[in-house]
Amino acid sequence: MNLPAISLAYLRARPLATALNLLLLALGIATITVLLLATAQLEERMGRDARGVDLVAGAKGSPMQLVLSSVFHLDAPTGNIPLEDAQALSRHPAVKKAIPLALGDSFQGHRIVGTNHDYPAHYGAQLAAGRLWSAPMEAVLGADVAAGAHLAVGSTFTGAHGLAAGGDAHDEEPFKVVGVLAPSGSVLDRLVLTGVESVWEIHEHGGKPAQRREITALLIQYATPLAAAMLPRQVNASATLQAASPAYESARLFRMIGVGVDVLRAFGALLILVAGLSVFIALLNALEDRRYDLAVMRMLGASRAKLMGLMLLEGATLAAMGGIAGVALGHLFAELLGVALKTAQQTAVTGWAWNPREPWLLALAVGVGIAAALVPAWRAYSTDVAPVLAEGG
């Protein structure tokens, strides 16, 4: 016999109230856990995709659209830019590295990206099989694409026009798979990579003159920190190009998403508050039923402090169970959300990751439980034994 055993016996003695309180607390904690996991993973993933890309140069339009389309491959491109302007910018002394991207086609909803070998190298991609492309119409598949389409080295496929699934197929120009990338957790997993020349070949049936060729965007790494001060302005001054900073645009995006996240977080906090109130009321009611028990415990030698500890422990036990259930539920929800988003070709969220802030959620839950038990505990502490024992029971 010990205090936790007594607390558990009391919790078991009123299963309905206990289950209700557990549920309320678990839902509140689960809501906040999902938000924590989803936002942290989204930020981490977007941070990884944007790492080392200081500036994106592309066609004029919305800078956020330019970043979303060419860094995260989530939005439609703003348009194309003349190849010679892009080449001129690549040779600028403030530019250390410039990776060309030519977009326009897709395969089963995955984008076909015309680029050079710097692009997979930039993300440290490793080949799981085969080799990188060396000739037009050779393609390397991202890990998710290869797994989803059941393609391997040697397979062929045709791209569809446009970035959404269901565009006109380019049947006469099949791609040949020469390599498959290992999963990297970056945007490459969802892409089909090929040479820029392949994209030109598909779209230039009539044989446009080479000097009129176009690409979609350039991912630029600065040679010196000073470039940040002047290069964007120079690019924006040109007639055909605009520059966008992935760091700045992602921060702007998160500020916009942030309002929604804050609303959900407030909702989660409200659930936890209600759960706290519910635990408080349950313990206070239980205290009424239990005046005799508490008096008997004093009669049997328990100190006031022990009874107070019993009530606090009961609140804390309930809250800890609710907190653990909530975190587990949160991970489950996050995983379900991830599965749902994965089929929609969106940035994935997983429930199989631990967030370092989760222990604080458990601490929060236990804190709520203890706070809810404070008043009942104090009343247990200050109960006078003799008159209660003399009453009927």
Partner 1 sequence: MLRVTGIRQRYSTSAVPQGAKEVLALERFEAAAGEHWLVLGASGSGKTTFLNLVAGLLAPSEGTIEVGGQALAALSGSALDRWRGRNIGIVPQRLHLVASLSVLENLLLAPFLAGLASDRSRALSVLDRLGMKEHSTSKPHQLSHGQAQRAAIARAVMNRPKLLLADEPTANLDDANCFSALQLLQDQSRECGATLIVATHDQRARERFEKRLEL
Q: Which range of residues in 75-83, 103-111, 297-305, 313-321 is near partner 1 by CB under 8 A?
A: 297-305
- Decide if residue 9 touches partner 1 (CB under 8 A): yes
Report the alpha-carbon distance of residue 71 to residue 74 in Å, rounded.
8
Burial, 106: exposed, middle or buried (Cβ in 10 Å; 0-12, 13-18, 19+)? buried
Q: Write down the least CB distance from residue 278 to partner 1, Å.
A: 20
- Decide if residue 1 touches partner 1 (CB under 8 A): yes
- Decide if residue 381 touches partner 1 (CB under 8 A): no
Among 10, 119, 200, 333, binds partner 1 (CB under 8 A): 10
- Decide if residue 266 touches partner 1 (CB under 8 A): no
Report the alpha-carbon distance of residue 295 to residue 388 in Å, rounded.
7
* Length of the chain as a residue count: 393
Q: Smaller CB distance to partner 1: residue 8 or 362?
A: 8
Burial, 230: exposed, middle or buried (Cβ in 10 Å; 0-12, 13-18, 19+)? exposed
Q: How big is the site for partner 1, counted in residues (CB under 8 A)?
A: 29
Among 45, 161, 304, 342, binds partner 1 (CB under 8 A): 304
- Decide if residue 303 touches partner 1 (CB under 8 A): yes
Element housing 249 (H / E): helix 246-289
- Decide if residue 293 touches partner 1 (CB under 8 A): yes
Q: Which range of residues in 5-13, 126-134, 321-329, 346-354 is near partner 1 by CB under 8 A?
A: 5-13
Q: Smaller CB distance to partner 1: residue 237 or 386?
A: 386
- Decide if residue 392 touches partner 1 (CB under 8 A): yes
- Decide if residue 393 touches partner 1 (CB under 8 A): yes
Tell how strand 191-195 and strand 110-115 pair up.
Answer: parallel
Token pair for 77: 């491109």
- Decide if residue 302 touches partner 1 (CB under 8 A): yes
Q: Which residues bind partner 1 (CB under 8 A)?
A: 1-2, 5-6, 9-10, 12-13, 292-293, 295-306, 385-386, 389-393
